[in-house]
Structure 1
Amino acid sequence: MTTTQHPTNARKALSYFFILLGITSGAWAARIPAVKHTLDLSDGQLSYGLLATALGLLTGMRFAGHLTDHLGSARLITPAAIATALSVIPPGYATTLPTLIAALFLFGLTNAFLDVSMNAHGVEVERAYHRPLLSSFHGMFSIGGLIGAGIGATFAHLHLGAATTLTAVGIPLALISLYARRHLLPTPPPPPTPTHHRHHRTRAPWTGWIILMGAVAFAGLVGEGAANDWTAVYLFQNLGAPQALAAAGFAVFSTTMTIGRFAGDHLAQRFGPVRLVRCSGLTAALGLGTALLAGQIPIAFIGFALFGFGLSTIVPQIFSAAGNHDPARAGQAIAQVATVGYAGLLAGPAIIGGAAELIGLPAALGIPALLAAFMAASAAALRPRTTS
């Protein structure tokens, strides 16, 4: 290991890649209204483009895990980061709905490869440090999202188009990635395996444990998606909050989630992943349940704050457990769990919306609260494997 590849430098470099993914996501999200206006898209037409991002992400997950394990996470991160930084640019130049769909599919595809490889490398950095770190890496993604959204808002205020915004974001991030790659940990050599066993070693099965971890991630990300799309609606429509105050509901959720992610590593080291996820799930369930049952705006804000803090540590702990479950197949395990989990992020708002039509929004938002209780009940599955 060279001086530039010291664990401390690797941690800083990997933090940059998490920030990069957050910036590109945040900058694109901030300029969606501009692209919608430029292409004169209806809400339904725009949804096709956004669905293409999701399809690209899920398609990429099918290959990202195997490629991460085959090449090593350090070798895949840089090309995936450069591709992600550059692929955020074409949506800004799209001139028709089909070209926007193609551009966003590519953006989702590159996101998948970066997401899996950098989470797998995060597990390797954790091993080098001998303590949890993945939660703070996810916190860096949250910081990146805020930076990207701020850049997008600034360019919009200056009346600069989406194409200019995304180009100004993507090209510098791609160039910085070339420098950051030098500090990642070296790819360890694969363990010796007899030739007739190699086929089996490189293909990770969908075990019951992987499916359970995916279900827990799904539950957590349903909550994140629901908070993103329905917090402000609930405060405005059901509690009568002014629109500006209602909009602050998601900001409170996001703030406590970011704080929780940076606190998560210390909490995981002190209490262990099982107790942390159990307590986090209960905190999230209690927070959202309180927000829904109290029926008062100040208490609802406190409840959403607890909901964000509770959810913040769960997905990083699941990814860490997946990456350590079988180190030789860390990338595939993370990709499998992420595939199921991210489906929750995508489906969450629709699940809540459909249920709200049938039983009303407050009762529908009880679904993420019940899922948070499920996460708490499933925490024992995160107990590290014992080796004989």
Structure 2
Amino acid sequence: MSEATEETVTVPRQARWAVTAYFVITGASLGTWTARIPAIKQDLGLDDAQVTLALFAVAAGSVLAMQIVGHLADRLGSARVLGPAGIAMAASMLLPGFAGSLPVLVIGLLVFGAGHGTVDVAMNTHSLQVQRRYGRPIVSTFHAMFSVGGLLGAGAGALAAHAEIGVGAHFALVAAALGVVSVIARRGLLPPEERVPSSSVRQRGILPGIVFLGVLAFFCSLGEGSMADWSPLYLHDVLLTSPAVAATGYAVFSAMMATFRFLGDFLVARLGPVVLVRGCGAVAGVGLGGALLLHHPVAAIIGFALFGIGLSCIIPQVFNAAGNRDPNRSGRDLAQVSTLGYGGLLAGPVVIGLISSWTDLTIGLAVPAVLAIFVALSAPAVRPR
């Protein structure tokens, strides 16, 4: 193998490991914050409404940052945004960690959310650049590593809580570790791609195709968000299982979702994105819908597992389609799709809760199943341009 050939292989490989590191630390930072919410609530003496305000601050910071970072990533290159943003996201964990009051906590979480949103868009944009250098699907594995990072962060948070380590000290240790990883990973990122003539007539504003992809992301994220809050309650309150059995519903959903994301690149290479999304949407919708009709704990757990399998590969393909429609505005398009997807994640529990209060929880959980079928029917939207 010639020296030039070795370089063309090594550089994308280094960039792949670098982007993987950013997906892991982004998931780990979010998992760390989530795991210590009970401790922060107790330390600051917050009620449920105040905790909700804090959670909203994270979401608001992320969404606001996403509106800006897409333009920066397109103008400067995603690597030039991702490097500093990763360090800033790690450092921002110190603010909520050492907050002594609700106003300080809210401000800290706004900053943390902004850092998280900035890294999210920049790393997804850069992942598509790395995939173009590879010439084969690799995006699903990145999303799987985000889930791994979330599990690592949540697991370490649980251990820290068990050891009665203070939130400030815990967040400081995590911030230092994530900052070091970000500094090291930054060296492996690819330089900005050369801008090419765009095939899009409209260079400004939001393109209709991007809006529709964002709607698909919203529907999938709504289902994901609803599982976290309502799957345990469905098992416990509707099917009358024990708390231990009820807890397995979301655990099985999350495990299947993470596992099958590792298989997503293999599947899309052989089936193509349209067939994969169509099949995944059908598995999710039929699996969850069938489980709700059978009305049995075992069927429900299997249905939640199938729902996780179905959702696992859809969002990566939606992001892939959005980011590759026009490489010159990849950051902006991904930012819009990410914003709608984030909105679905937040809206899911609320929508299911409202519908359940008007009818019952079984009908409420049927909504994500129906939306998954809609996504399956809309699979041609992810066809490569």
TM-score where L is the length of structure 1: 0.95
State the number of aligned residues: 379
Aligned to 2:326: 326
| Aligned residues of 2:318 and 2:382 also touching (Cα < 8 A) | yes
Post-superposition Cα deviations, 1:251-278, rounded to whole Å, max 9, x if no partner, equal: 0000000011111111111100000000
1:188 corresponds to which of 180, 185, 193: 193
Aligned to 1:121: 126
SS of the residue corresponding to residue 365 of structure 1 reads helix
Q: Quote the Cα distance in structure 2 between the aligned partners of 1:107 and 1:227.
A: 25
Aligned to 2:31: 26
Aligned to 2:268: 268
Q: Quote the Cα distance in structure 2 between the aligned partners of 1:316 and 1:338.
A: 11
Aligned to 2:158: 153
Q: Does 1:144 align with 2:149?
A: yes
Alignment of 1:310-321 (within 5 A): 310-321=310-321
Q: 1:330 to 1:5 in 2, by over 3 A?
A: farther
Q: Quote the Cα distance in structure 1 between the aligned partners of 2:30 and 2:287.
A: 27
Post-superposition Cα deviations, 1:176-197, rounded to whole Å, max 9, x if no partner, equal: 211111111121233479xxxx
Q: Quote the Cα distance in structure 1 between the aligned partners of 2:141 and 2:356.
A: 34
Aligned to 1:379: 379
Aligned to 1:246: 246
Q: Quote the Cα distance in structure 2 between the aligned partners of 1:163 and 1:4.
A: 42
Aligned to 2:80: 75
Aligned-pair Cα RMSD in Å = 1.7
| Aligned residues of 1:202 and 1:329 also touching (Cα < 8 A) | no
After TM superposition, give the deviation of residue 249 of structure 1 in Å: 0.8
Q: Does 1:162 align with 2:167?
A: yes
Aligned to 1:52: 57
Q: Quote the Cα distance in structure 2 between the aligned partners of 1:201 and 1:279.
A: 33
Q: Quote the Cα distance in structure 2 between the aligned partners of 1:84 and 1:291.
A: 40
Q: Quote the Cα distance in structure 1 between the aligned partners of 2:276 and 2:83.
A: 32
Q: Quote the Cα distance in structure 2 between the aligned partners of 1:381 and 1:159.
A: 49
Q: Quote the Cα distance in structure 1 between the aligned partners of 2:201 and 2:12.
A: 28
Q: Quote the Cα distance in structure 2 between the aligned partners of 1:367 and 1:204.
A: 34
| Aligned residues of 2:234 and 2:362 also touching (Cα < 8 A) | yes
| Aligned residues of 1:69 and 1:331 also touching (Cα < 8 A) | yes
| Aligned residues of 2:93 and 2:112 also touching (Cα < 8 A) | yes
Aligned to 2:348: 348
| Aligned residues of 2:21 and 2:181 also touching (Cα < 8 A) | no
SS of the residue corresponding to residue 131 of structure 1 reads coil
Aligned to 2:294: 294
TM-score where L is the length of structure 2: 0.96
Q: 1:163 to 1:325 in 2, by over 3 A?
A: same
Structure 1: tracts of 5 or more residues without a match: 194-199
After TM superposition, give the deviation of residue 67 of structure 1 in Å: 0.7
Q: Quote the Cα distance in structure 2 between the aligned partners of 1:165 and 1:251.
A: 25
Structure 2: tracts of 5 or more residues without a match: 1-5
Aligned to 1:175: 180
| Aligned residues of 1:204 and 1:332 also touching (Cα < 8 A) | no
Q: Report the identity percentage.
A: 47
Post-superposition Cα deviations, 1:209-240, rounded to whole Å, max 9, x if no partner, equal: 11110000000000000001111010000011
| Aligned residues of 1:282 and 1:372 also touching (Cα < 8 A) | yes
Q: Quote the Cα distance in structure 1 between the aligned partners of 2:121 and 2:99.
A: 27
2:137 corresponds to which of 127, 132, 138: 132
SS of the residue corresponding to residue 272 of structure 2 reads helix
Q: Residue type of the partner of 2:223?
A: G
Q: 1:31 to 1:202 in 2, by over 3 A?
A: farther
Q: Residue type of the partner of 1:341?
A: G
After TM superposition, give the deviation of residue 205 of structure 1 in Å: 2.2
Post-superposition Cα deviations, 1:78-130, rounded to whole Å, max 9, x if no partner, equal: 11111111112211111111111101111111111100010011111111111
After TM superposition, give the deviation of residue 202 of structure 1 in Å: 10
Aligned to 1:308: 308
| Aligned residues of 1:90 and 1:103 also touching (Cα < 8 A) | yes
1:35 corresponds to which of 23, 31, 40: 40
